[in-house]
Structure 1
Amino acid sequence: MSVKPSRTTVISVAAATAVLVAGTAAAGIATSYRHVTVEVDGVTHDVSGFFTTAGDALSTAGVSVGAHDLVAPASDQSVANGDTVVVRTATEYDVTVDGNQTTAWSTASSISGVLSALPASSATMAADRSYTRAEMPLAEHGETIHVVADGTTTDVVASASEGASAILDKAGVSAGPIDRVTLESNGGETTLRVARVVRGTVTTTTEIPYETEEREDAEAEQGTEKTVQEGVAGSEVTEAYQETIDGNVTVSAVLSTTRTEPTTRIVSKGTKEKKAEEAKTSTDSSSSSSSSSAGSSSSSSSGSAGSAAISGDDAAIWAAIAQCESGGNPSINTGNGYYGMYQFSLPTWRSVGGSGLPSDASAEEQTMRARMLQQRAGWGQWGCAYQLGLV
């Protein structure tokens, strides 16, 4: 990573003074005995011995220097009596630079210092929130931190010693142990962001619809239908472990699935044809309860209807049946339970899609539904069909 002199370069005043002294003194002997001070991250040690360079002084002091550590003066530079050799130990950090995760070494004393020294337009790293040691300072003294949590932004002025916990306290924001707290540097602005993390199990229930099975019943008459078994919907219950960050699902793993199969609805439909004698008896009783004028009309028109049936004139046949059943009156309602020109009972009328009273429907609709009934159950539905020779 790049090093910014203003943040990471350490200038030793004693070293500069020593240079001036050395310039006016006689040439030293390479093996002369020297006394220097070694300072490592603020801790000083007095070191004496026969050495000429800063690196030799550090070796005499037993200080190991890493490849990323800052040493001033540099390890290969000469030192004189009274000089101070300063070491700033570099620390490795996990950072996200312009959306890519990487590692960076820095000797900065604050997290914002680490990020601002990176050669990137946008850098992010986790804020230090230790419960067992002092937290790393978050920012330089007087720096403004934008604290973002739960959709709200609060500006806080930081002091040099304050870590993430202190900055959150100033902003009035609490962060749980598993919440994600990150520091972001973007365009010179520093943001401390709190993302809420929720972990736990989630149960989801999905309904499974039931199917309907139709079965033929040879013992039941055509047009009849009965539910043998009620249908019951099934279900599938899934339990999953889930993690969300600010409401967005980031982890979802199924733990178990329980399935309850649906119960099929079973319906029986009759296939047995009505006996002609039963149909005739039923229709005769219907006709007998009709008006006497309709009966007399049927006797006068039976001959012509019979010839119409032989000729296959469909309209004439239905006209003859209507004349026989009701005198051809589409609105007849005598109160005997049969209605209209074809003397429909209400259950039969509704079984062919009719609504309301048959006698309130138009003659065209009544004829249309009578044809539907005939196609489904035959001419035996009307007693007059026997008289007209249709059965």
Structure 2
Amino acid sequence: MSANHRTDQITTVSAEGVETSVRAKRRLFPWLALGIVPVLVAGGAVTAHAHKSVDLEINGEHHTLSTFAGSVEGLLAEKGITLGERDLLAPAPDTALADGADVVVRTAREVTVQIDGEEQEVWTTALTSGEVVASLFESGREVSVAASRSLAGGRQALDMPLVVDGEADVVADGATTRVQLAGTAFVPDALEAAGVEVDRTDRVEVRTGENAIPVVVVTRMDRGERTETEPVEFETVEREDPTMLEGETEVVQEGVPGERTRTFVTVTVDGKEAHSEQTREEVTTEPVNKIVAVGTKARPAPAPAPAAKAPAPAASGGAATATPAPAPAPATGDVWARLAQCESGGNPTIVSANGLYHGLYQFSVGTWQAVGGTGLPSQASPAEQTQRAQALQARSGWGQWPACARKLGLL
């Protein structure tokens, strides 16, 4: 008969089940509680033929019974006890029953254990979780019984005691504490005796140690959240500028990297991260693009070379003399005033409409810095602007101001 079809006369290995079993037995045999021994009545006379006193242990609960049964099987039938196919009975059913005999009944149950790291379902008739792991440990495998889910619900690990009048080791937070437990003791009793508190997220399991002493192992488990950041590269954007000559470029705005944030849910075991899973990713700081102005204004064609003049008649007996080409206009103060008037209307603080060119001579910021200027050209004094314009002309010529220089006859 399977365990699912047993009557309420069969006990379980839980504390609650044992109490139920005792109550059931008392309902079946009220004379046990009263100390009444059944007798046979024959022809008006009372006899006690083949009377025996037997100790019957059911899942650790002892009962002294009076019986007339001749065998163990007869005793079970007389008391209405039905066994499942995996239940334990000692001695065998056909064993003759003598006065003072001991009969043991253990109800089998299916439990979940970890064997070599893999979860398995096994059947056992052990009365304590300590016995469960000890019996399986004898096979040379690493065995543990999880207790966390039961503890979180206020129940005991496997609904089974840890030990009965025995020792246990409690391992938690890097320390091992041996405790002596009296009577029927459960995992919480061992934790309390060792002064160890557990949270609902902690993992508690029962293993076996030396001399088959059960070991209660507490693993601190914690769920949390952490973030990681990484840069987001900026892009470079080119913008056409009709006021700049073709081939000229200038950085109008420097690029700034952004930031991307990733969020992870984590599981830590005894303070060390054991698992993480990404739950969110977002750009928390947008990058700033780099902007480069690119000139589109056509460069002026080079000025044609002056036509060669016919050599002057040579003096009698003398060689012809070449006429030199006219030199560019000298860089006099009047020239710089006229150039400033052409470029900016003579306004030292003016800035072009696109924001790229500044001051009397319409310096770009890059060119201004190249000749030693700092800040913005339009913020410098007229004298400094003229000084740096003269330095630029001495280095690069009048072509730095192609339109106005041509207009003024400087090219």
TM bracket, shorter-chain basis: 0.5 to 0.7
Q: CA deviation at 1:283?
A: 8.7
Match of 2:187 among 164, 174, 188: 164
Deviation string 1:214-271 (CA, Å, 9 cap, x unpaired) is 334232246552425x645444444454433334445545544444664433221335
Aligned to 2:142: 122
C-alpha distance in structure 2 between counterparts of 1:144 and 1:132, whole Å: 19
Q: How does 1:1-391 map to 2 (within 5 A)?
A: 37=54, 38-41=56-59, 42-44=61-63, 46=65, 48=67, 52-80=70-98, 83-118=101-136, 119-127=139-147, 129=151, 131-132=154-155, 136-139=160-163, 141=165, 143=167, 145=169, 147-150=170-173, 152-161=174-183, 162-186=185-209, 188=211, 190-221=214-245, 223=248, 225-227=250-252, 231=255, 233-249=257-273, 252-259=276-283, 262-272=287-297, 284=331, 347-348=369-370, 380=399
Would you say the 8 A contact 2:251–2:290 is kept in 1? no
Q: 1:155 to 1:40 in 2, by over 3 A?
A: same
| Deviation, structure 1 residue 175 | 0.6
The one-letter code sitting in structure 1 at the alignment partner of 2:220 is R
Q: What is the distance in 2 between the residues matched to 1:140 and 1:282?
A: 116
CA contact (8 A) 2:249 2:292 kept: no
Q: Contact (CA 8 Å) 2:162, 2:214: kept in 1 or not?
A: no
CA 1:138–1:83 in structure 2 vs 1: closer, same or farther (change >3 Å)? closer
Q: For residue 53 of structure 1, what is the amino acid of its counterpart?
A: S
Structure 2: runs of 5 or more not aligned: 1-48, 304-326, 337-366, 374-391, 402-410
How far apart, CA to CA, are the structure 1 residues paired with 2:372 and 2:66? 112
Identity fraction in percent = 31
The residue identity in structure 1 corresponding to 2:130 is: S
- Greater shift after overlay, 193-202 or 237-246? 237-246
Q: Distance in 1 between matches of 2:65 and 2:218?
A: 45
Q: Report what 1:306 is aligned to.
A: none
SS at match of 2:181: coil
Contact 1:94 1:104 in 2 (8 A): yes
State the Cα deviation string for residues 10-47 of structure 1 (Å, max 9, x = none). xxxxxxxxxxxxxxxxxxxxxx9766644312153747
How many residues were matched structurally?
Answer: 271
Equivalent residue letter for 1:220: M
Q: 1:85 to 1:184 in 2, by over 3 A?
A: closer
Most deviating of 219-228 and 268-277: 268-277
- Answer yes or no: is the 8 Å Cα contact 1:36–1:57 preserved in 2: no
Instruction: Write the distance in 2 (CA, Å) between the matches of 1:183 and 1:206.
Output: 44
Q: CA deviation at 1:213?
A: 2.0
Q: Secondary structure at the match of 2:96?
A: coil
When the two chains are superposed, the root-mean-square deviation of aligned CA atoms in Å is: 4.6
* Residues 34 and 227 of structure 1, relative CA distance in 2, 3 Å threshold: farther
One-letter amino acid of the counterpart of residue 111, structure 2: Y
CA contact (8 A) 1:121 1:186 kept: no
Match of 1:28 in 2: none
Unaligned 5+ runs, structure 1: 1-31, 290-344, 352-369, 383-390
Q: Which amino acid aligns with 2:216?
A: L
Deviations 1:185-214 (A, max 9, x none): 255475322111222555555442222223
Q: Name the structure with the higher helix share.
A: 1
Q: Secondary structure at the match of 1:143?
A: strand
1:295 maps to what in 2? none
> Contact 1:34 / 1:80 at 8 angstroms: preserved in 2?
no
Partner-residue secondary structure (3-state), 1:165: helix
